[in-house]
Amino acid sequence: MNRIKLLIEYDGTDYIGWQNQNNGRSIQQEIENCLNQIFDQNIRLYVSGRTDSGVHALGQVAHFDLKDDKIKKENIFLALNNYLKKRNNKITILESRGVKDSFHSRFSAKKKIYLYKILNRKTPSHLLANRTWFIPIKLDIKSMQISSKKLIGKYDFNAFRSVDCQAKTTIRSIENISIQKKNDEINIRVSGKSFMHNQVRIIVGTLVNVGKGKLNEKKITEILRSKDRRNAGPTAPACGLYLEKIFY
């Protein structure tokens, strides 16, 4: 067997998320269908981390195993993009290359960076409607930056996960949170090894409440200690979230 690593970019707006499901188009299904056509094999993709419906990716990573050892692995992405285009997909394969059998897109990952984009101005943008969270109220960036530091470290993040999350443990480590504003756009980057379902979006929603003056730095610590989802902020919309980069 030959193991192939793919670097993937996609607009998640029209998909039900990464994982195959019976109620719509998934990123996984679309890429697998194209691979099956190209190689006439039943190929399964393994991904670094599933993304939800509406969530985008700038640097998603997946791998699959291929029986054919004669094909040029570095050219697979060209064929894949051709087939994806024919199926009217908003998915681009940025790179394909051979890796060792010991590589696993999920279990070999050392760190992930998620990017969340907020459009913070009085008027919405049709161009960015499915790419950012539009918030017309001016946010206090400084307060958000100060409060975000309370979430950096190893904690029980039970208050910051979806009620539908099935993770066996709620202990997670956040390596860094950076918040920067350029013109009308706020970029929030959250990095760590792994995240629970909706964890990044709930963190963003909570920090936005800080920016609106509804919460303060002290309250963030209280929310963490409470381990109660009801005390944290709203789950930020999926449209502003991007899986930006994965480190191996």
Instruction: Give mean pLDDT in consecutive 10-residue pieces for the chain, a chain of 248 residues.
Output: 96 96 93 95 95 97 89 94 97 97 97 98 96 98 97 98 93 98 97 97 98 95 97 98 98
Cβ atoms within 10 Å of 197's Cβ, excluding its own: 17
The CA distance from 232 to 200, in Å, is: 12
DSSP state, residue 230: G
Active site residues: 52
What per-residue confidence (pLDDT) applies to 14? Answer: 95
What per-residue confidence (pLDDT) applies to 184? Answer: 97
Q: Where in the chain is the domain with CATH 3.30.70.580?
A: 2-99
What per-residue confidence (pLDDT) applies to 71? Answer: 84
What per-residue confidence (pLDDT) applies to 22? Answer: 84
What per-residue confidence (pLDDT) applies to 119? Answer: 98
If one looks up domain 111-247 in CATH, what number appears? 3.30.70.660
The CA distance from 219 to 111, in Å, is: 28
The CA distance from 208 to 73, in Å, is: 44
Give phi and psi for 84, each to the nearest 5.
-65, -40
pTM metric for this prediction: 0.95
Please tell me whether residue 112 adopts helix, strand or coil conformation: strand
With a CB cutoff of 8 Å and minimum separation 6, the contacts of 147 are: 207, 210, 215, 216, 217, 220
What per-residue confidence (pLDDT) applies to 58? Answer: 98
Topology annotation, domain 2-99: Alpha-Beta Plaits (3.30.70)
What per-residue confidence (pLDDT) applies to 1? Answer: 82
Question: With contact defined as beta carbons under 8 Å apart, do 28 and 18 qualify?
Answer: yes
Q: Where in the chain is the domain with CATH 3.30.70.660?
A: 111-247
Query: Residue 42 has which token pair?
Result: 């039943």
The radius of gyration of the chain's CA atoms, rounded to the nearest angstrom, is 19
The CA distance from 10 to 22, in Å, is: 20
Task: Give ∠ CA 89-93-96 in degrees, rounded to 5.
Answer: 150
What per-residue confidence (pLDDT) applies to 233? Answer: 97
